[in-house]
Homo-oligomer: A and B are copies of this chain.
Amino acid sequence: MVETVIRVEGMSCGGCVRSVTAALKSLPGVTDADVSLESAQARVQYDPATVSEQQLREAVEDAGFDAPA
């Protein structure tokens, strides 16, 4: 299991935070996601054998937010 921090742009309320959290936690291989509105970041614990950091970013983008590399 590894941990990474992804920048998440476009969140402006608690609903956004819930949405990004749900998008990340729905991915196979993600065991935890802690999303912060204040820091515009998601701290994600995941199994790199199952899911890549790029796929984490894509899930955030698919949820309607920006996740620049």
**Which A residues are within 8 Å of any B CB, using their own CB?**
10-16, 18-23, 26, 62-65
Given A13-B16, A19-B20, A22-B62, list of 13 further CB < 8 A pairs? A10-B18, A11-B15, A12-B15, A15-B19, A15-B65, A19-B63, A19-B64, A19-B65, A21-B64, A22-B63, A23-B63, A26-B62, A63-B63
Q: What's the least CB distance linking A16 to chain B, in Å?
A: 4
Q: How many copies does the complex hold?
A: 2
Contact B13 A64 (CB under 8 A): no
A11 partner residues in chain B, CB cutoff 8 A: 15
A19 partner residues in chain B, CB cutoff 8 A: 15-16, 19-20, 63-65
